[in-house]
Amino acid sequence: GSAAGGGRGGGGVGCGGVAGVVLASGERVLADAVVLAAGHSARELYQELLRCGATLAPKDFAVGFRIEHPQGVVDAAQYGEELAV
């Protein structure tokens, strides 16, 4: 079988098909199918998946949530602690 995640050392996106996923911990979880919930701002990802021949199926529902953070936390994450006000 191929490495989970396709090419690029077993952790990236390749055009070799799905064998599972590689978790952030490095653990490999084998699977025949993977559900990818990338969201609305993933046009380049979807284009790449189509280029590789992936089967994409829209769903008739959407699930979302909102998390609010203090502006200082957002500024620190975006600009770094030294530039956050």
The pLDDT tens digits of the residues spanning 65-74 come to 888 999 989 8
Tens digits of residue pLDDT in 19-51: 888 999 999 999 988 888 787 788 898 898 899
pLDDT given for residue 70 in this prediction: 92
Q: What is the pTM of this model?
A: 0.45
Tokens of 5: 């995640």
**3-class secondary-structure state, position 6:** coil
Helix, strand and coil in the chain, % to nearest 5: 25, 5, 70
Cα separation values, 32 from 1, 35, 53, Å: 11, 10, 16
Q: Cα 65 to the chain's mean position, in Å?
A: 17
